[in-house]
Structure 1
Amino acid sequence: MTSSTETLPVIDIGSLRRDSRDLARIGAALDRACCEFGFFYITGHGISPALSARLMTLARKFFDSPLEQKMTIAMAHGGRAWRGYFPVDGELTSGRPDRKEGIYFGTELGPDDPRVRAGVPLHGTNLYPALPGFRDTLLAYIDEVTAVGQLLLSGIAAGLGLEQDYFLERYTSDPTVLFRIFNYPPSTANADENELGVGEHTDYGLLTLLQQDAVAGLQIWHHDRWMPAPPVPDSFVCNVGDMLERLTAGRYVSALHRVRNVSTRDRTSMPLFLDPSFDAVLEPIKILAPDPTAGERRRHGRRWDGTDLATVSGTYGDYLLNKVSKVFPQLRAKVL
């Protein structure tokens, strides 16, 4: 069943999760959402509400702890894996500090992994809060959400007229999986439009799956205005990343978005980025017919950083490191 909120499509993928015979219908709904908005909600995803609630509760316990305690797992201790905690104003988006704190995680790799031994950036071991059950809960959650992301990519492939395993076989059999937990403090007194939890940006990879708490704040740039993406119970907000826009030659839009927490409460969100393998080279899918509306939608979408995705070359890892090094310039010399 597909319905809509005032803003973004809501797509129930429950039948796809149970039976692939519904693939064509859900694929068509995903295709429309990715073309028009670059964003959509999913329900019927099968992620245990208890697992999500447990991780959200543990995250809030961590963010409520003293700063000195949180800094024991600061990103400066994460080395080339680029994992760990950063405080409010510790991350730059759109060239200015974000009003948020957060923890960076990724696929857990041991010291004997060839990529870790070679010192490949963004590969390695996570730094975990010293809270009972945090590590096991987090890793279980990442596994479950990654599986949902792979299922969504099979639906997106169907919507594009491709084989169901198109993305899995070419880009996500060994994906780059990055996971973040963010906490956005309430707005300061007399805050204006320029006080942002995270500045306007696009995501870098294929697909983002975001679980947000009950506090609103996410906004999407659509048709020359900021459109709210309020919380929908038991849902994920999903969006197209730069590499999926590149693969589809602009048919899908990697939409600009930002966060403004104008409430009096903290806002917690948990995005998982399901991205191509680090060494993947991405080229537009040749069988796709040109989309005559792509140029007009891109004009409305506008690129936040001036990048023309049609000119991007090299591996996904090259693209990702270039972006992340600008977000954390203080770590650049240590990691790259």
Structure 2
Amino acid sequence: MNVVPVAEGFARVPVLDVRALMEPSSSVAERLAVATQIGAACRDNGFFYIVGHGVDAGLQQRLEDLSRRFFALPPEEKRAIRMALGGRAWRGYFPVGGELTSGRPDRKEGLYFGAELGDEHPLVRAGTPLHGPNLFPREPAGLREAVLDYMAALTQLAHALMRGIALSLGLDEEYFAARYTSDPLVLFRIFNYPPGPEHADDGQPSWGVGEHTDYGVLTILKQDDVGGLQVKSRAGGQVSWIDAPPVPGSFVCNIGDMLDRMTRGVYRSTPHRVLNRAGRDRLSLPFFFDPSWTAEVRPIEAAALGEAAADDQTERWDGQSVHAFRGTYGDYLLGKVGKVFPDLRAGVLP
């Protein structure tokens, strides 16, 4: 197993070669070596780059090109698949300022996708929020196929990474699949961050997206060459923000609130934010791999975890504890997304 040297100045955001997790011929020792590196990153800051992931570069480039073509369309054409038309499936397009983080509008526009589910699916028939068919635009041609192919490839990658995370915790490789992710809630976003002013009207920084943590288990992010992603660090007891610039051929991975909860805070869901100062559009494609809708997420009792970490509720961006929550992952997610789109929530969610 090879560990790619980190970019200078980013010792807390390692770049890991995960090839051994992707190849069936890899030995247990090779997979454990990768898992050890992933575990160290999860304990240290919850973020790591991955290479050797096997996701087709041509597919990635095709999706990026088609996404840029979509965002270049006139506003009325993009609004033809606006999220209000997606109903309870929570799919479609939103304009700049249409999504909130901590009550403030983000400076980004985006497309929301998820697993493509027909009307006959039991969860769709039951009216379950965030489940259903996607809204795809008429133009550009080929975006539908690229999105579905990409989601399929990243779902396979996410399952492999979760096997590595299980090994890092001293668990059976199929621990998460057996309990939470055999039928994962898969959500995919394509965001465009246009350039903008340094500060909003109230004098605050004009964030592409403000400080936040992700909700589920694992996020796999493809970012373009613009940069702007920042990760919160508490190295040496000092709070600072570390840039996570693009690394060619890589994805950025980070763990979410539910893995934080499962590991009793030993693996932290780390706050991050985006600040686009490049003077041109920034394209970002986060893929969220989450527990199934009805899963009750419980702490893992594993010797490899050691003592639980102190609850960081008072330090979290939203002041909420991921450890005090009781209920299913669907309950947790609804409580979060309803704050992101309050206008849509009123007409869609229970």
Interval containing the TM-score (normalised by the shorter chain): over 0.9
2:16 aligned with 1:14, yes or no? no
Distance 2:174 2:106 in 1: 37
| Alignment of structure 1 residues 169-248 onto 2, 5 Å | 169-188=178-197, 194-223=205-234, 224-248=239-263
SS at structure 2 position matched to 1:278: coil
Unaligned runs of 5+ in 2: none
Aligned twin of 2:153: 144
Counterpart-to-counterpart distance in 2, 1:64 and 1:291: 51
2:165 counterpart letter in structure 1: I
Please tell me whether residue 309 in structure 1 is matched to residue 322 in structure 2.
yes
Aligned 8 A contact 1:206 1:276 in 2: yes
Q: Confirm or deny: 8 A CA contact 1:187 1:263 kept in the other structure.
A: no
Q: For structure 1, which segment, 144-153 or 286-295, has the greater mean C-alpha deviation from structure 2 after superposition?
A: 286-295
C-alpha distance in structure 1 between counterparts of 2:184 and 2:305, whole Å: 27
Structure 2: distance between partners of 1:74 and 1:287:
45
- Report the secondary structure of 2:323's partner residue: helix
Q: What is the distance in 2 between the residues matched to 1:4 and 1:81?
A: 40
Question: Letter of the aligned partner of 1:285 in structure 2?
Answer: I
Q: State how far apart, in whole Å, the 2-side matches of 1:225 and 1:292 are.
A: 26
- Structure 1: stretches of 5+ with no match in the other structure: none
State how far apart, in whole Å, the 1-side matches of 2:343 and 2:62 are. Answer: 33
| CA deviation after TM superposition for structure 1 residue 293, in Å | 8.4
- 5 Å matches for 1:33-72? 33-72=41-80
Residue 6 (structure 2) pairs with residue 4 (structure 1): yes
- CA RMSD for the aligned pairs? 1.6
Distance (Å, rounded) in 2 between the aligned partners of 1:16 and 1:189 = 42
Offset at residue 92 of structure 1 (A): 0.2
Q: Which 10-residue stretch deviates more, 10-19 or 48-57?
A: 10-19
Q: Report deviation, 1:291.
A: 4.4
Pick the aligned partner of 2:290 from 275, 278, 285.
275
Q: How far did 1:333 drift?
A: 1.6
Distance 1:166 1:249 in 2: 16
Q: What is the number of equivalent residue pairs in this alignment?
A: 334
Say if 2:169 and 2:304, in contact at 8 Å, map to a contact too. no
Residue 189 of structure 1, CA deviation: 5.8
**Overall identity of the aligned pairs, in %:** 54
Which residue in the other structure is 1:330 paired with? 343
Q: What is the Cα deviation at residue 193 of structure 1?
A: 5.7
Farther off after superposition, 318-327 or 125-134: 125-134
Aligned 8 A contact 2:294 2:330 in 1 = yes
Which residue is equivalent to 2:103? 95
Structure-1 residue corresponding to 2:121: 113
SS across alignment from 2:64: helix
Q: Normalising by structure 1, what TM-score?
A: 0.96
Change (3 A) 1:189 1:312: closer
Offset at residue 335 of structure 1 (A): 1.2
State the shift of 1:94 in Å.
Answer: 1.3
Equivalent position amino acid for 1:222 in 2 = S
Alpha-carbon deviation of 1:307?
1.1
Deviation per CA, 1:27-73: give whole Å up to 9, x if none.
10000000001000000000111100000100000000100110000
| Moved beyond 6 Å, runs of 4+ | none
Distance 1:158 1:67, change over 3 A: same
Q: 1:170 to 1:264 in 2, by over 3 A?
A: same
Query: 1:117 and 1:182 mapped to 2: Cα distance?
Result: 29
Report the Cα distance in structure 2 between the residues aligned to 1:170 and 1:290, rounded to whole angstroms: 18
Contact 2:220 2:253 in 1 (8 A): yes
**What secondary structure does 1:273 align onto?**
strand
Distance 2:179 2:125 in 1: 25
**1:174 is matched by which residue type in structure 2?**
D
Name the amino acid aligned to 2:17.
D
Residue deviations 1:258-312, cap 9 Å, x none?
000011110001000000000000110012455458339x49x931111111111
